Structure 1
Amino acid sequence: MTDPVPAWPIRAGVNSYASLANAQGIAATRLFASAWNGATEQTQSQALITATAFLDRMRWQGRALAPTQPLAWPRVPDRCPHGYPLAAATPPAIVTACVELAIHLLTQGALSSAPVMQRMLGDSMTMYFPTIADELPKHVRRLIEPHLLASSANVAEVAL
């Protein structure tokens, strides 16, 4: 009996930064990956594709290797002439961040946002965010920070 083809096939470099086999290898080394281990291959594939989509929305350093590539990575420095180099690899930190984010999505169910705190004193109300709003978990943010155009969600980019 053959296994059915997953409805969401992973194509590394096309719709995910990690192949399913690569992701399973990384997840096998993680202590808190029970949600990943208990998920079907289809659910794991969906988590990887979703994690890749989240990462693709980030503002990365450099530019895409080829203007026609479907994902933001692989990238080259802006100073590289177009067409050179002919090939580049996606950094292992980006691949690992994709898998870590997929595991996080399966564990948490969704990306969290900062809680809103309110205080009322008579007719006056104060509202504030006690934490910095960042849709990525800290351990994923730390993996990708060296490759981001602005290393933090709180850093503004100034273009002259």
Structure 2
Amino acid sequence: MAIKKRGTLRAKARKRAGFESSATTKAIASKERLLDKLVKEKVSRAEKVPSLDANQSGISKSSIRRRKRKLREQLSAKLSDLETALIDTTKVQERVEEEHEDEAVSRKKLDHRPNPHSARGAMALAKKEGERFKAVLKETEFRENPFASLKEAILRNNSL
């Protein structure tokens, strides 16, 4: 019999979907706030130039909005370039760290024991346990003193 699983795949999928959607919306919102802040700073610096003054004649609000939008697009392009540069540097650092770890630490051996959570693994474990129990029953020591020999067999199997 397999060991009962604690959660269902649907519950895990729902949890993952809810977490990812809230995280992405937060990331997008924070990026937009950062871009707006940068545009305001750039516009406030540029207000000293008479061409961005809204009160002057000949300049409409829509043209000022258009200029702000263009500045925001330029900043977002620069921000995305910065993000890719940061990602590239972190990838390089990770590769270097992995190379050092590979040199320093030998590879771990894989665990080939049967998985008790799957039906196939549970069947394999039951088969092994049955073989061990049959071997214990066939021993002459078991016939003479059953409890002591079972205790020894259990201790021997736990040490393996």
Superposition TM-score tier, normalisation by shorter sequence: under 0.3
Higher relative contact order (CA 8 A, sep 6+): 2
TM-score (norm 2): 0.21
Tell which structure's C-alpha radius of gyration is larger: 2
